[in-house]
Chain A
Amino acid sequence: MSFWTNIKRVSRYGFIGFIRNGLVSVAAVFILLIALFFQANLMISNAAMTQTLEELKEKVGITAYFQPGASEEQVMAIKQSLEALPEVALVSYTSRDQALADFRERHKSDQLTLQALDELGENPLGASLDVQAKEPSQYETVAAFLDARQVEGTNGIDKVNFSDNKLAIERLSGIIDSSSKNGITKEIILGICALIIVFNTIRLTIYTARDEIGVMNLVGAGHWYVRGPFLIAGILYGAIAGIIVLILMYPILRFYPVLVGLDPTAEILFGSFDSFDYYVSNFVLFFFSILGAGMGLGAISSYLSVRRYLKM
């Protein structure tokens, strides 16, 4: 008998078993659906967390303020030496004129301040350099570099604001560090829980068929011939649950993102992250992850559960 004939027969029995054991199949699909929904939820929460942290990272930085008398060459020399540091991601230069324009813009409704500025007659503001490090933990090095230049006193550096930001930067490094560690730990623990629940549900569906497996053994069916239909049914549970989750995510993320833990109050934290946009633009990733996880879980659980009842 050909391999394909076997595959055809086993698949047919898998489908038939799935349909005829309707209630059991619905229960298994439902449990898998919850597990996969939870997985999609985790994927989105992780993306939200990562993106938000990236945004926050960009917002922190060190600013070196120069004395108004510092020449552009002095500023540029510092800029170049900063850019040469391996820890530095970006250095942006704000000229004296730009600083003044920004100041005016910021205080445009404060006539008193603007008048005082006009009375000074000259630009009292110095140029500045905004430095962004590659990692929050690297600001210390950058700050030390700038402080050393400031102490030399010949570079025109007036003030380095790292100490003001130090606490915020350290906290952010801490948050990023612990949230990624916590995230992984949580994922592992919850993943194991989901795995155990799904495995036990599928084991129950196969427990109800244990006599059937015994009969198959008795009439001389090979192990794969017995196991095959259950594997197919397991894969079907996962595929159907996966497709339902993929479809449900559309309206949920569009209208009720609160269901995946992104409630409106979390907007303060998650800022500009749009879960619906993220889902749509990364649909291929979700498609393969969710369906793959569902079908894999179904197949592995079935495989292990049937093995228990296969005897000679």
Chain B
Amino acid sequence: MIYFDNVTKIYFEGTPPAVEAVTLSIKPGEFVSIVGHSGAGKSTLLKMLFAEVFPTEGAVFFGEYDIQKLSTKDLLKLRRNIGTVFQDFRLLPTKNVYENIAFALEVAGKSDEDIQADVPHVLDLVGLGEKIWSFPHELSGGEQQRVAIARALVNQPDVLIADEPTGNLDPINAHDIVEILMRINDLGTTVLLTTHNKSVVDSVGRRVVTMDQGKVVRDDPHGTYVL
């Protein structure tokens, strides 16, 4: 489903590559944790999947499509098919919880009736039904991350990318977020998770890809956090 074909990314000429000659294949429905030190290339790898950065060499395939060759219109479609969750939540600060999630549905072209039905439903799924009219600044970090997950999920994407989603959260909230991600994966969505958090990776107990200095150094189908 997702295939990184000998991908290298160099941000500035003369600097060492952020990602170097990575070949990686991810099947539909997998839960893959990508671990490594800061600067190991985890985030760059994921950014290439939703086309925030493009590879310097090699190609990234989503299904049969080479992402780099997609038109702007198709790229936008691709993004609507990939949910993204980040360490810094990236919610729209002037929109309330309902509007943040509705926005993702609106850009996907959903009708007002569908939006009114889907938003409360997905908020219940992440346990935030009662905060529907709150603004991001009125929520705790854990709650904001749940809103971000709800927004990522609401279009029922094939893939959910979670880039350090627990980085700003306390252990209890971090655990809750991982639980939610696992539930989503159980429902059939492919989940790609990058993290520094050993207990998170160990509690998931699925495939672990370890990166170091831009390269994949270990790929363990039932791994734990080993650096």
Chain A interfacial positions (CB closer than 8 Å to B) = 1, 5, 9, 13, 16-17, 20-21, 209, 211-212, 214-216, 218-222, 225, 312
Contacts and interface: CB of A to CB of B under 8 A. Distances in A.
B109 A222 contact: no
Nearest to A1: B109
Contacts of B84: 218-219
Among A21, A214, A312, find the residue whose CB has the most chain B CB atoms closer than 10 A.
A312
Nearest to A311: B52
B94 to A, nearest CB: 4
Contacts of B52: 218
Contact of B104 (A9, A21, A219, A312): A219
Nearest to B93: A212
Contact of A215 (B75, B91, B106, B110): B91
Nearest to B76: A220
A18 to B, nearest CB: 10
Contacts of B11: none
27 contacts: A1-B109, A1-B111, A9-B106, A13-B95, A16-B95, A16-B99, A20-B94, A209-B94, A211-B90, A211-B93, A212-B93, A212-B94, A215-B91, A215-B92, A216-B103, A218-B79, A218-B84, A219-B84, A219-B103, A220-B76, A220-B77, A220-B80, A220-B108, A221-B76, A222-B73, A225-B106, A312-B72
Given A218-B52, A218-B84, A212 B108 contact: no
B215 interface: no
Among A5, A13, A218, find the residue whose CB has the most chain B CB atoms closer than 10 A.
A218
A266 to B, nearest CB: 47
B151 interface: yes
A226 to B, nearest CB: 9
Interface string B86-115: 000011111100010001101111111000
B107 A222 contact: yes
Contacts of A20: 94
Contact of A220 (B93, B107, B112): B107
B50 interface: yes
B132 interface: no
Interface in B61-82: 72-73, 75-80
- For the residues of A in contact with B, the DSSP-based class is helix
Nearest to B100: A215
B51 interface: yes
A216 B94 CA distance: 13
Among A9, A16, A215, A221, find the residue whose CB has the most chain B CB atoms closer than 10 A.
A215
Contacts of B103: 216, 219, 221
Given A1-B110, A218-B90, 18 more contacts: A1-B111, A5-B112, A9-B106, A13-B95, A16-B95, A16-B99, A21-B94, A209-B94, A216-B92, A218-B79, A220-B76, A220-B80, A220-B108, A221-B76, A221-B107, A222-B107, A225-B106, A312-B72
Contacts of A21: 94
Contacts of A17: 94
Nearest to A20: B94
A126 to B, nearest CB: 83
Among A211, A220, A221, A225, find the residue whose CB has the most chain B CB atoms closer than 10 A.
A220
A51 to B, nearest CB: 49
B151 A219 contact: yes
A220 B79 contact: yes
Contacts of A5: 111-112
A219 B107 contact: yes
A281 B86 CA distance: 60
Contacts of A13: 95
Interface in B36-69: 50-52
A216 B95 CA distance: 12
Contacts of A209: 94
Contacts of A216: 92, 103, 107
Nearest to B104: A219
Among A5, A16, A221, A222, find the residue whose CB has the most chain B CB atoms closer than 10 A.
A221
B159 to A, nearest CB: 13
Contacts of B94: 16-17, 20-21, 209, 212
A222 B79 CA distance: 11
B148 to A, nearest CB: 10
A222 B76 contact: yes
Contacts of A221: 76, 103, 107
A221 to B, nearest CB: 4
A17 B93 CA distance: 10
Contacts of A222: 73, 76, 107
B44 to A, nearest CB: 16
Among B73, B94, B108, find the residue whose CB has the most chain A CB atoms closer than 10 A.
B94
Contact of A219 (B73, B79, B99, B112): B79
A59 B110 CA distance: 72
B116 to A, nearest CB: 13
A219 B93 contact: no
